[in-house]
Amino acid sequence: MSTLAQRAGKAATVAALHADAVDRDGRFPEEAMAVLKAERLLGLQIPRQFGGEGAGLTEIAQICCTLGQACSAAAMVFAMHHIKVASLVGHGLDSDWHCRLMERIAREQLLVASSTTEAGTGGDLRNSICAVETTGDLFSLSKEASVISYGIQADLILATARRHPESPSADQVLVALSRDQVSLERVSRWDTLGMRGTCSDGFRLEARDIPVVQIVPKPFAEIAAQSMLASSHLLWSSVWFGIATFAVDRARAFVQGEARRRAGQVPPTALRLAEVSNALQAMQAAIVTALRRVEDLHGDADALGSIGVSVMLNNLKTSVSDMAVDVVQRALGIVGLAGYKNGTPFSLGRPLRDIMSAPLMIGNDRILANTAKLLLVQKSGGQLMSA
């Protein structure tokens, strides 16, 4: 059996080969996905008793970084899949149906997508307009899903909805829907500056006569606070770190080429490279620290959902997303026109366009506003090694 790094490396090699075409055509990274499935990387997080490998967020984050260096879209699809799987692993163990679903994800390497965004909620995943409508043991759901990343390619969709038609907008549940249980009518196309291969089209989602056992038994509020916040910010950050690393690697190769041509001199761009390597290291430190803090909590739901951890994760997202854009831009500054131009060994157009999504995915202003509220009650951590 190959190591995890070797398996991820195979997927990254294929992802890199097709990254420009995926970007140019705004198409799903199907070749990379085929290898991710063949290497059985979609079931990594599933507990061993259900046929997975029981991997933690650190291992998934490492793969996100590896893929991020090859193809941002493939990396982000992998990250989003594992954010959803983390919700199932963290909150579905009390439900037989969801345990069987986890077995299927591991055995059949099912790709899981998310439908949280809804037209009319302003992108706030903690509010829904649509509601689960239950009749006996069955429910129906209609959702104006303004974004479902890789909705067409996914095998499963985890969708948020209000618990009942009378529930307040924040009283949400998460429902697991097989692709063959839903009809998706595409209402908008994902034609964007970057991250084009995530195929985050908008859909009208309809599901009829679905067994109620497919509703995850925990309130979505708990799933969001105790699993999604950590997994999304940590895994996205790891993808962004991968993209930034790719850009710095190109800048480094460029500077080293200059140094070889002018033996005995340190090229002026080397100073800029020193600066960007400094920024990249700070970014890495922020991610690794947050990963360790979350892993050290060993799934303690109260601690994961606490205000201190929420503030820490919010800060991770806003800082790393801004740093990543800065790092890629600086790398472009070092490489110059060879980076601005497509089709050179130093081209940085694609990663620059991709990374521009980082501060926008759950907008940093929204997150800062949330942190601002939490800071009204949070007390000082005060310890170098803990908070």
Site of interaction with other proteins (CB under 8 A): 126, 163, 168, 170-171, 219, 221-222, 225, 301-303, 305-308, 370, 373-374, 376-379, 381, 387
d(CA 230, CA 86): 10
| 349, 342 Cβ separation under 8 angstroms | yes
Q: How far is the CB of 215 from other proteins (least distance, A)?
A: 14
**Beta carbon nearer to other proteins, 263 or 377:** 377
Q: How far is the CB of 113 from other proteins (least distance, A)?
A: 25
Q: How far is the CB of 232 from other proteins (least distance, A)?
A: 16
**Beta carbon nearer to other proteins, 163 or 353:** 163
**Beta carbon nearer to other proteins, 37 or 163:** 163
Work out the angle at residue 98's Cα, subtended by the Cα atoms of residues 95 and 100, and round it to the nearest 5 degrees.
110
Q: How far is the CB of 222 from other proteins (least distance, A)?
A: 7
Question: Of the candidates 80, 124, 356, which has an alpha carbon nearest to the alpha carbon of residue 232?
Answer: 80
**Beta carbon nearer to other proteins, 270 or 307:** 307
Q: How far is the CB of 39 from other proteins (least distance, A)?
A: 37
**Beta carbon nearer to other proteins, 282 or 375:** 375
Q: How far is the CB of 82 from other proteins (least distance, A)?
A: 24
**Beta carbon nearer to other proteins, 58 or 169:** 169
Q: Give phi and psi for 51, each to the nearest 5.
A: 90, 5
Kindly list the distances between the CA atom of residue 279 and the CA atoms of 64, 244, 259, in Å, as whole numbers in the listed order: 20, 10, 22
d(CA 359, CA 357): 6
Tokens of 196: 């084009």
Tokens 């970057």, residue located: 194
**Beta carbon nearer to other proteins, 259 or 301:** 301
Residue 312: in which H helix or E strand, if any? helix 307-335
Chain center to CA of 372:
24
Q: What DSSP assignment string belongs to 7-35?
A: HHHHHHHHHHHHHHHHHHHT---HHHHHH
Tokens 């002018």, residue located: 262
Q: How far is the CB of 177 from other proteins (least distance, A)?
A: 23
Strands 112-115 and 133-135: unpaired
